[in-house]
Structure 1
Amino acid sequence: MIKKENLNHKKAIAVLSGGLDSAVATAFYAKEYDIHAITFDYGQKAAKKEIQVSKEICEALNIKHTVMDLKWLGQISNSALTTDKPIPEIENNKLDDTKTCTSTADKVWVPGRNIVFTSIATSFAEAEHAEIIIVGWDKEEAATFPDNSKEFLEKYNQMLKEGSPQNITVKAPAIDLSKKEIVQLGQKYNAPMNLSYSCYKGNNKHCGVCESCMRRKRAFKEAQISDPTDYEQ
């Protein structure tokens, strides 16, 4: 792989799960920054697949990629993502039902996940003198995941002003967007959405029935953009 030439030498750290949101967010800044993407293995069922696709996304964007072992996080978690508990499934007509989605969010919640991820990314940013940390937080998931919210973003950035000697800012280009709008943004910035993987289950194909898959399906359909995803159902 030929190392890309970055004339302005601005550096960024990206928290890249390999999912749709983080892939689009990373691609959004790929031409402006020299990005070092980090993928976390916290013992999640989809870890192997997420690492694989994250590597492919980084190759497509010609950026550096590091995998961090955080299996301790999965070991202290009671989440369906990291235990033998079944991954919750949801029907399309329930995706905007707050009660239903709060229940599924509780079942897949991993303790302090985005706090841990972003804190580690901060360490990388300080060490590498990066100006920004790129995350895929978005409005749709913020409805049931508080660590995806605009309020969380603003408060984390306020903490950085107080706690870091460097001028680092967390950037979330999808913070005000729905999944449909994220797909539209991804098309605009030529994000490798075809390589991204959103499924909670970790199979080779997207299951097509977990909440993450259902939101992905709906996003492409509502955006009227061809869905490149291979679903089991």
Structure 2
Amino acid sequence: MSAKVVVIYSGGMDSFTVLNKAIKQGFDVYAVSFNYGQRHNKELSYAATVCERLGIEHKVIDISSVNQVLGGSALTDDIDVPEGHYEEESMKTTVVPNRNMMMLSIAVAYAVAIEAEAVYFGAHSGDHAIYPDCRTEFVEAMNAVCKIANYQAVEVRAPYLDCSKIDILADGIDMKLDYALTWTCYNGREKACGKCGACQERLEAFSENKLSDPLEYEV
């Protein structure tokens, strides 16, 4: 019987690649997505479609009520999503306080319940400058805590922690993944905006890999 792992799966291209990587490594994968009140919750429908196609267990956890005690993020509040490539000052408005710690905590609890050995998530080097909860020191600290927080040790794994989105896409292309099944844009409109930092980074990854993005864009 294959070892079980839980994958935090947003529906975006990074977590999509992580999900498929874990499957190809031979693990019995359980996906968990989170509704935290994000305006780009279109990604959750993409996640559901992928999991149905792959025939894997998929849980969607609603933690949107936590926004009662959070504030100040363009991803959840009535604040304009910044446009342009990732720059620290502008992109700070897209930080959701403690998001990854909350998600990892719940995913680890799920892993304990199903006796999974690890939780995977899609932190990568392109997020390090902007998002503190995607940095190496955070992942290492969470891994240490999650190994002792329960009677069952659960490892936190971020396989692309030292990779760029360009590298992640290259790995996914090697796995012959279809990125039309992913959503990245911070705006949850019919088409991707092409202007926000998430879109800009995604488009750059495709350009650097000499590929065209299969998603439709407004611009």
Tell me which moved more, 14-23 or 163-172.
163-172
1:184 paired with 2:166, answer: no
Deviation at 1:104, TM superposition (A): 2.5
Native 8 Å contact 2:10 2:47 kept in 1: yes
User: Which of 12, 17, 38 pairs up with 2:5?
Assistant: 12
TM-score (norm 2): 0.94
Report the Cα distance in structure 2 between the residues aligned to 1:103 and 1:62, rounded to whole angstroms: 41
Deviation at 1:103, TM superposition (A): 1.5
TM-score (norm 1): 0.89
User: Which of 29, 41, 56 pairs up with 1:63?
Assistant: 56
Q: Structure 1: which 4+ aligned runs deviate by more than 3 Å?
A: none
User: Which of 102, 106, 112 pairs up with 2:98?
Assistant: 112
User: Which of 65, 68, 82 pairs up with 1:72?
Assistant: 65
1:103 paired with 2:89, answer: yes
Question: What is residue 161 of structure 1 aligned with on the other side?
Answer: 147
1:89 paired with 2:83, answer: yes
User: Root-mean-square deviation (CA), in Å?
Assistant: 1.3
Instruction: Count how many residue pairs are aligned between Structure 1 and Structure 2.
Output: 217
> 3-state SS of the aligned residue for 1:154?
helix
User: Which of 36, 39, 44 pairs up with 1:42?
Assistant: 36
Native 8 Å contact 2:112 2:152 kept in 1: yes
Report the Cα distance in structure 2 between the residues aligned to 1:15 and 1:191, rounded to whole angstroms: 18
Native 8 Å contact 1:27 1:190 kept in 2: no
Report the Cα distance in structure 2 between the residues aligned to 1:114 and 1:18, rounded to whole angstroms: 15
| Gap runs ≥5 in structure 1 | 1-7, 96-100
> 3-state SS of the aligned residue for 2:148?
helix
Cα 1:196–1:35 shift into 2, 3 Å = same
**Identity fraction in percent:** 35
Deviations 1:171-212 (A, max 9, x none): 111111111101001112233422110011111211100000
Cα 1:121–1:193 shift into 2, 3 Å = same
Which amino acid is 1:201 matched to? N
Cα 1:192–1:66 shift into 2, 3 Å = farther
Deviations 1:125-156 (A, max 9, x none): 00010011110000111121111112211111
| Gap runs ≥5 in structure 2 | none
Deviation at 1:161, TM superposition (A): 2.2
Question: What is residue 19 of structure 2 aligned with on the other side?
Answer: 26
Deviation at 1:112, TM superposition (A): 0.4
Which amino acid is 1:39 matched to? S
Report the Cα distance in structure 1 between the residues aligned to 2:58 and 2:117, rounded to whole angstroms: 17
Report the Cα distance in structure 2 between the residues aligned to 1:77 and 1:185, rounded to whole angstroms: 35
Taking the TM superposition and a 5 Å limit, the aligned residue runs for 1:132-143 are 132-143=118-129
